[in-house]
Structure 1
């Protein structure tokens, strides 16, 4: 299957205007960076400003964050958080039942590992992001560091964005997972959902992972997005800085990222 096969649906959309009459913008966050040097470096070298979400205590995380920053990519901390079903938590992760002091110590340690970071999103977190107090502590700490938050939305009952809104913290939420199914046809279908959503409302946010299939797909498609009338931007360009106490609707529940 050649290069043009996977990009063809994007090119077919090139003549359509967005609902706002402006060029649609998408942000692509690549999670789980830091465990594979090879695949992480391939993400850093992608020909578009994808956002690099780095797991703070991973073997190659600090080096990849430096390389990403030097390459002009936006870097965020991909913070491990407790998931349902007793999934194993990465080193330095945030556990259910932590005190405020314990949680903040872990967050500060993680942030110190990735000084290039401009924001943070959750790695897993289907359990912890449903809890008001820990999410409130986290958002207060991010605001103190002048960082933003992106909810990966691994739970449809996440209260994380609501807590961000409560204190007026710049935030966003994931719209599409690109590669829950690593099959190229499935990734292509998800990518085109992202494009359609961006055309409908002017912008959309996707999360993917440094899987070989995802890397291969993005290497082929990203150079063609200009022809499709789509602009790729860092996720910080799609944030909302809310008026405090505004309600936030959560997305339907998805599998852990």
Structure 2
């Protein structure tokens, strides 16, 4: 039979036989489908796969009071998150300035520490002796006082961030307003991870302070420590300040940025909250 014969014919003969049988000969198409690649092996002519870059978020605290280093920080050639204190002479100016230069803005909320004077905190700080109603009122007013806010972090606050009653109120407001909370980690007794998990609020935690001591030598040492943290971790958050250490910190960051950017991408802290 013709059908059986076709199976035995060469390709060109099969096409001819098809025409004889009353059909049009089919155009022969060269098969260019690549062979399946073996997983994990580099194919000839392909560039070697690059490892994903690490991420680093820099947060600069204490904007809002025309502090030393403000101009130098704003001139840095890297993205950072500006933490702005409320109710101070340049609160709105600094928040607008940061926003205009492409930075993100968070509220640097003054909170009572375990040690130190309440007078260090500035106006309308969150202290442990306040009622629930007053805490809520102060947090809402502070958020409304700082333009372009997308999150909160604590200014000082070792006493407050260990207080479940107060942090439940603060994090509840974050949930209501779609904000994240950055724990500056001024105490190992922080309750923020526990309560944020209960409430479903996105948070992150600080990994390093650049300038807990104000000397240039210490700040430079901290930038070297930051490089080591980046080697170990996929994402790292580091906090610096305007004020007494501001010019030293900005200079150290400017100097370290080119080397750090070889292994890590500078991102906003909002990219690292979970």
Map of 2:26 onto structure 1: none
Which of 224, 229, 233 does residue 263 from structure 2 map onto?
229
Map of 1:5 onto structure 2: none
Shift of 1:230: 1.9
Map of 2:46 onto structure 1: none
**1:222-246 residue CA offsets vs partner (Å, 9 max, x unmatched):** 24433x3221110001111xxxxxx
Map of 2:71 onto structure 1: 41
SS of the residue aligned with 1:31?
strand
Map of 1:91 onto structure 2: 123
Shift of 1:157: 0.6
SS of the residue aligned with 1:179?
coil
List structure 1 segments (4+ residues) > 4 angstroms apart after TM superposition. Answer: none
- Residues 68 and 247, structure 2, Cα contact 8 Å, conserved in 1: no
Which of 135, 146, 154 does residue 167 from structure 2 map onto?
135
Structure of higher CA gyration radius: 2
Map of 2:7 onto structure 1: none
Shift of 1:180: 1.1
Which of 248, 251, 255 does residue 213 from structure 1 map onto?
248
SS of the residue aligned with 2:123?
coil
- Residues 34 and 40, structure 1, Cα contact 8 Å, conserved in 2: no
- Residues 125 and 138, structure 2, Cα contact 8 Å, conserved in 1: yes
SS of the residue aligned with 2:115?
helix
Shift of 1:39: 2.3
- Residues 72 and 247, structure 2, Cα contact 8 Å, conserved in 1: no
The 2-side partners of 1:216 and 1:191 are apart by 11
Counterparts in 2 of 1:201 and 1:34: CA distance versus 1, 3 Å:
same
TM-score under structure 1 length normalisation? 0.81
Which of 219, 228, 238 does residue 196 from structure 1 map onto?
228
Shift of 1:182: 2.1
SS of the residue aligned with 1:205?
strand
> What residue ranges of structure 2 are gaps of 5+ in the alignment?
1-49
Map of 1:55 onto structure 2: 85
Question: What's the C-alpha RMSD, in Å, of the aligned pairs?
Answer: 1.6
> What is the aligned length?
220
> What residue ranges of structure 1 are gaps of 5+ in the alignment?
1-19, 241-257
**1:117-139 residue CA offsets vs partner (Å, 9 max, x unmatched):** 11000001011111101101110
Map of 2:56 onto structure 1: 26
Which of 215, 218, 225 does residue 183 from structure 1 map onto?
215
Task: Tell which has more relative contact order, 1 or 2 (C-alpha 8 A, sep 6+).
Answer: 1
Counterparts in 2 of 1:221 and 1:86: CA distance versus 1, 3 Å:
closer
Which of 159, 163, 168 does residue 195 from structure 2 map onto?
163
SS of the residue aligned with 1:188?
helix
Name which of structure 1's ranges 138-147 and 85-94 shifts more when overlaid on structure 2. Answer: 85-94
The 2-side partners of 1:133 and 1:179 are apart by 31
- Residues 223 and 252, structure 2, Cα contact 8 Å, conserved in 1: no
Map of 2:101 onto structure 1: 71
**1:36-81 residue CA offsets vs partner (Å, 9 max, x unmatched):** 2562232222111111000011211110100101111011000000
- Residues 215 and 248, structure 2, Cα contact 8 Å, conserved in 1: yes
TM-score under structure 2 length normalisation? 0.76
Name which of structure 1's ranges 96-105 and 20-29 shifts more when overlaid on structure 2. Answer: 20-29
**1:13-39 residue CA offsets vs partner (Å, 9 max, x unmatched):** xxxxxxx94211111110111122562
Name which of structure 1's ranges 31-40 and 162-171 shifts more when overlaid on structure 2. Answer: 31-40
Which of 129, 150, 157 does residue 118 from structure 1 map onto?
150
